[in-house]
Amino acid sequence: RGMAGENDAISIIYVLNELPLYRTNEQKGDFRINFWPEAGGSDAPLFLNQTFSTDAELGMWLRTKDFRRAISFALDRLEINEGVFLGRGTPQNQVVDPASPFYPGIESAQFEVNHDMAMANQLLDSLGLTAKDSAGYRLRTDGKGRLSFVLNIREDESVDVSEYIQDQLKDVGIEIILDVDGKANSNFIQNNVPMTMNIDASAHQSNPWHVNWTRLVPLTAGSLLAPSIGNYFETQGASGMAPGGPDPAWTDAMGRMTGPGGFPADISGNLNELAELWNEGKLYGKFSPQRLEIAKSIFRINAEEKYKVDTIGLSATRRGVHISRNNVGNIPMTANREKFGYHHELYYFTDGTGNCACPGGQPTFVRPEK
C-alpha cells in the first residue's frame, strides 16, 4: 500500500535496507522520502548482560572489560554500515548528535571503535583464551567445550546486524548463536543457557533523562546493561541484586571483584556511578551547566566501559525512514524520530479532504461553515 501511494505519512513501518524498493516506486506512488535519524546515536548496540548468572564462565567473561574491548575491536563497523544501513550511518559509540548540548566530543564517539583484529586477538590471548577447537573457536577455561554466547534478536534489522556480528566474531574465535524471538538453538535450550547478549535500538535516548528506562543506565528490570541491578533500583531494593560488596561468585576473568558496599556484579563500580550521576542530574535544570556535564560523563563512561558495544548511529533506520504522499503538506525533511515528528495541527492536504476519505483522488477543498 505504501508503494502504491496509499499512506498519508508514516515512518514506523519502513526500514532502511528496503530503500531501493521505495526509490523505485517513488514517482509511481506519488510520494516522497525523508530521513529522520534518531539523535541518541546508537541504532544497533550489542548489549553484554553484566548480571548474567546462569553460566558462571560466560558471566565472568561478560564482566571482563578487556573481553568487551576485544569484541569491540573485532567488529567491522564500516562493513555493517554498508551492508545493513546502506552507508547512511556513522560508526561510533552511543553519543548524541554533535549538534546536541549533551555531546561529549568526538573522542568519546570514536573511542576504540576502529576495526583491529590484531588487537582483538591479542586481548583474548592475554586473557588466557588460547586453546581452540578444530573449527577455530576458542575453548572455555572450565573444560566445558566451546566458548559460545546466545544473542537475542527480534525479526527486524537486528537479524542482519547480528549475522555480521556473528561472522566477524567467528574470525576471532568467539561463537555467537542467534536466537530470534526466543527460538534458540535446541542444544542451548536443553543446556539452560538463556540470553547473554541482546541487540536493541530504542528511541528516546538523545536525553539521558527522557525516560527512566534509558539504555544508558541500569535503572529498571528491563535494562539490558545489568537487569538485576536495574531491578533493585526499580523496586527500591525489594528485589534484584542488592549492594553487598565483594562476592567470589561475581568476578571478572582476572579475579577482580567490586569494592566494599558495591553491587557484586559491578566490578569497576561504574554501573552504580551511572545511576548516581543520573539521579544527580535530575536536581538541575534541563540545559544547566551541571546537567550538561553529567550527561557527557554518562556517555563517556558507556563508551569506555563497553557494557554495550555500539556499532552504527544516526542512520535514520527504524522509524527514521519517513514516506508521505505529495499531497500532504508541511512535512519536515528531517526530524528527530523520538517524537515521530507528528503534530497534526501543522499538516494539511493540498486541494483535498484526505486520502482516507477520498482514496486515489484529491477532490476540491471545500471550506466548512464557521
Q: What is the pLDDT of residues 26-79, one digit of tens each?
A: 999 999 999 988 888 999 999 999 999 889 999 999 999 999 999 999 999 999
Kindly give, in sequence order, each residue whose CB lies less than 8 Å from that of residue 334, ignoring residues fewer than 6 positions away. Answer: 34, 35, 36, 37
Average pLDDT of the segment spanning 241-257:
96
Which pLDDT band, with edges at 50, 70 and 90, does 361 fall under? low
Judged against a pLDDT cut of 90, whether residue 247 lies above it is answered with yes
The whole-angstrom separation of Cα 70 and Cα 360 is 55
Burial class (CB in 10 A: 0-12, 13-18, 19+), 73: buried
d(CA 40, CA 302): 13
pLDDT digits (tens, 9 = 90+) for 71-116: 999 999 999 999 999 999 999 999 999 999 999 999 999 999 999 9
| CA pair distance 131, 140, nearest whole angstrom | 8
pLDDT confidence of residue 188: 40
Question: Long-range pairs for 337-343 at CB < 8 Å and ≥24 separation?
Answer: 337/11, 337/36, 337/37, 337/38, 337/203, 338/38, 338/39, 338/40, 338/203, 338/204, 338/205, 338/206, 338/210, 340/11, 340/12, 341/11, 341/36, 342/9
- pLDDT band of residue 192 (cuts 50, 70, 90) is very low
What local confidence, expressed as pLDDT, does residue 363 receive?
44
Query: Which residue bears the cell 545511576?
Result: 275
Taking alpha carbons only, the member of 281, 319, 338 closest to residue 96 is: 338
> In this model, does residue 366 exceed pLDDT 80?
no
Question: Does residue 246 surpass a pLDDT of 50?
Answer: yes
Average pLDDT over residues 194-202: 71
pLDDT of residue 195: 59
pLDDT of residue 11: 84
Report phi then psi at 329, rounded to 5. Answer: -100, 160
**CA–CA distance, 252 with 327 (Å, rounded to integer):** 59
* CA neighbours closer than 13 Å in the CB half-sphere of residue 357: 8
DSSP letter assigned to residue 338? G
Predicted pLDDT of residue 261: 94
For residue 110, which of 88, 91, 89, 123 has the smallest C-alpha distance? Answer: 91
For the chain, the average pLDDT equals 88
Tell the burial category of 286 from Cβ atoms under 10 Å away from its Cβ (0-12, 13-18, 19+). exposed
364 versus 52: the higher-pLDDT residue is 52
Q: What is the pLDDT of residue 185?
A: 44
Question: What pLDDT, on the 0 to 100 scale, is given for residue 327?
Answer: 87
What per-residue confidence (pLDDT) applies to 351?
66
**Within 13 Å of residue 131, how many CA atoms lie on the same side as its CB?**
9
